[in-house]
């Protein structure tokens, strides 16, 4: 029987109409740095003042800095799904924030960004956060044996990652489908239904915690921090939070060094600055924003290490580096770590309203930087682009192609905008926040009738109800989305409502 991987390659070759072959000589290495919960206003190059980000600022100075770039969702799993599949996440009901033991939500038979690059001769690697599920829904996942399907089945030849997030169990590293350092006589059990084993939890042993947590995050304690969910076993395999940035960065650098003589694609999905925010001691106090800002400083340092690695290996001029984030910022997200109290005047979402979990602009308007010295002319651009477009854009750059009717139905080719050859971007895009979908068209934003929330300082949702016919905002003059112009421009509301309905329906049959 053919494996899903074999079927995918056969499908892709058929789609291309050519045999898989080596990448063209002009094809660059590609590094996609995908940060976690980093907002538009968290970087100095986007006007942030609370933490120094010299390496990301330098990356922006050497490349294109997009001011109208978007994640597809204001939460992580949906954005990551879109990034790798070229499909809006709402087209897959399973693409929501996943528990740590969820099955894989990407169909291995359909084209993905790494799988398409494989057909062009790229070696592909994942380092960092995954959070797209592991295993299949028909069989309980056994953490003590080979874990599949997973990153390999959707196109990553090498993978070193966590299963979900830093605040979810299992708190272990997985390399190429195997939990690292797992001892046979200490098997791992994971549950999101109730406690397993005799490990202390944040509820039963709060005095053991480095930082206090809310009820949701008060499951099994690992390395002095309670998590969402419960696990037993795997004592030797459990990570140390403060060492995580160095562990992931070492693997990312190793991947680059090992593959410097052939085209490579590295998806480097950092943990910073998702909770729990426990930066390495050498970064404590690196910012004026407490541990949240320190985690951003740590992220920036890691970017600097990658850029220096490229320089030492003489790969800078043959490597396209893209930086973005999965959703907007959040201050309190389950742990009482002082992020809200230390935030001061810093505006993590920049001029935009809202942040993570929100349908307001701050939930999906992202920093997005593309640098390829000698090829991309530096400078800012207002071209509108979505992360869902990376699949089609990078496929076009490398000569890959695929039938969008059975795969990346939402991905548009905007490689000319990324490379600075054009100021044209998308004409419209859909933004998602949970069950709510909104539409950006040119300078306009339409929010359908419903409830739009933002998180307050202790994690509660502050809700605003938008009545019929919805909210219409002119973003150049109203970035905070305070002035609803629906009554003034009813024809525009009707037009955008129809466009949104058409986008939601397209590709669903």
CA gap 332, 41 in Å, rounded: 17
pLDDT for 457 equals 64
Q: What is the pLDDT of residues 213-244, one digit of tens each?
A: 999 999 999 999 999 999 999 999 999 999 99
Are 216 and 335 in contact by the 8 Å Cβ rule? The answer is no
Q: Are 166 and 335 in contact (CB under 8 A)?
A: no
- pLDDT of 276: 98
Beta bridge partners of 220: 201
Is omega for the bond preceding 223 within 30 degrees of 0, making it cis?
Answer: no
Active site residue 414: no
From the list 15, 76, 161, 346, the catalytic residue is: 76
Q: Is the dihedral of CA 18, 24, 27, 33 positive or negative?
A: positive
Low-confidence spans in the chain with pLDDT less than 70: 1-26, 403-406, 457-459, 507-509
CA torsion through residues 30, 35, 38, 44, sign: negative
Q: What is the pLDDT of residue 204?
A: 97
Instruction: Note the pLDDT of residue 508.
Output: 57
- Report CA-CA distances (Å) from 150 to 164, 229, 271, 406, 432: 12, 21, 19, 21, 25
428-505 is a CATH 3.30.1120.10 domain: yes
pLDDT computed for residue 404 by the predictor: 64
Any idea what the Cα angle at residue 195 is, between residues 191 and 200, rounded to 5°? Answer: 120
Tokens 């019929």 locate to 468
Instruction: Write down the domain spans for the chain.
Output: 4-188+233-418, 428-505
d(CA 194, CA 199): 12
Distance CA 275, CA 297 (A): 15
C-beta separation of 272 from 23 below 8 A: no
* Selected catalytic residue, list 15, 131, 161, 271: 131
3-state secondary structure 446-508: EECCEEEEEECCCCCEEEEEECCCCEEEECCCCCCCCCCCCCCCHHHHHHHHHHHHHHHHCCC
pLDDT of amino acid 25: 53
Q: Are 59 and 369 in contact (CB under 8 A)?
A: yes
Q: What is the pLDDT of residue 75?
A: 97
DSSP per-residue letters across 401-437:
---GGGS-TT----HHHHTTS-----SEEEEEETTEE
Question: Whole-angstrom Cα distance, residue 306 to residue 315?
Answer: 11
In b/e form, how buried is each residue of 59-71, taking b as 16+ CB within 10 angstroms? bbebbbbbebbbb
Helix 290-312 to helix 54-61 angle (10° resolution) is: 50
The CATH number fitting domain 4-188+233-418, selected from 3.40.720.10, 3.40.50.300, 3.30.420.40, 3.60.150.10: 3.40.720.10
Residues with Cβ within 8 Å of 312's Cβ and at least 6 positions away in sequence, in order, are none
Residue 15 known to be catalytic: no
Give the separation between CA 256 and CA 305, rounded to whole angstroms: 12
Omega cis (within 30) before 273: yes
């Amino acid at each position: 029987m053919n494996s899903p991987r074999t079927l995918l390659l056969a499908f892709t070759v058929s789609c291309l109409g050519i045999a898989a072959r080596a990448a063209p000589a002009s094809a660059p290495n590609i590094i996609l740095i995908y940060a976690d919960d980093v907002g538009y206003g968290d970087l100095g190059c986007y006007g942030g003042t609370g933490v120094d980000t010299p390496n990301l600022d330098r990356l922006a100075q050497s490349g294109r800095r997009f001011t109208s770039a978007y994640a597809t969702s204001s939460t992580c799993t949906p954005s990551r799904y879109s990034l790798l599949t070229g499909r809006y996440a709402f087209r897959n009901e399973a693409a929501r924030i996943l528990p740590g033991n969820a099955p894989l939500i990407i169909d291995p038979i359909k084209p993905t960004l790494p799988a398409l690059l494989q057909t062009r001769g790229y070696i592909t690697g994942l380092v960092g956060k995954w959070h797209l599920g592991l295993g299949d829904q028909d069989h309980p996942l056994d953490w003590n044996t080979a874990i599949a399907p997973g990153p390999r089945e959707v196109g990553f030849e090498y993978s070193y990652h966590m299963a979900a997030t830093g605040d979810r169990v299992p708190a272990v590293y997985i390399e190429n489908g195997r939990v690292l350092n797992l001892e046979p006589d200490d098997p791992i059990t994971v549950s999101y239904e109730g406690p397993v084993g005799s490990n202390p939890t944040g509820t039963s042993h709060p005095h053991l915690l480095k930082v206090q947590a809310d009820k949701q995050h008060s499951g099994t304690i690992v390395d002095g921090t309670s998590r969402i969910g419960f696990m037993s076993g795997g004592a030797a395999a459990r990570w140390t939070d403060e060492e995580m940035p160095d562990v992931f960065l070492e693997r990312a650098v190793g991947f680059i060094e090992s593959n410097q003589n052939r085209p490579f694609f590295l998806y480097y999905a950092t943990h910073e600055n998702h909770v729990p925010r426990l930066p390495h001691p050498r970064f404590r106090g690196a910012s004026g924003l407490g541990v949240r800002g320190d985690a951003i400083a740590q992220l920036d340092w890691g970017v600097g290490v990658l850029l220096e690695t490229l320089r030492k290996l003489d790969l800078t001029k043959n490597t396209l580096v893209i930086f973005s984030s999965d959703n907007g910022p959040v201050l309190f997200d389950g742990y009482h770590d002082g992020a809200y109290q230390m935030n001061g005047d810093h505006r993590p979402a920049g001029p935009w309203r809202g942040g993570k979990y929100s349908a307001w602009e701050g939930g999906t308007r992202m920093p997005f930087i593309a640098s390829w010295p000698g090829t991309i002319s530096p400078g800012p651009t207002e071209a509108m682009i979505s992360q869902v477009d990376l699949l089609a854009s990078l496929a076009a750059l490398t000569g890959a192609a695929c039938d969008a009717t059975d795969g990346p139905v939402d991905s548009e080719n905007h490689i000319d905008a990324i490379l600075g050859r054009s100021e044209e971007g998308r004409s419209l895009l859909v933004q998602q926040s949970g069950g709510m979908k909104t539409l950006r068209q040119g300078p306009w934003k339409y929010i359908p009738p419903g409830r739009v929330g933002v998180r307050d300082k202790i994690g509660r949702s502050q809700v605003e109800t938008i009545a019929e016919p919805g909210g219409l905002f002119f973003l150049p003059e109203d970035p905070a989305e305070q002035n609803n112009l629906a009554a003034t421009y009813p024809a525009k509301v009707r037009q955008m409502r129809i466009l949104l309905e058409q986008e939601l329906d397209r590709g669903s049959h």
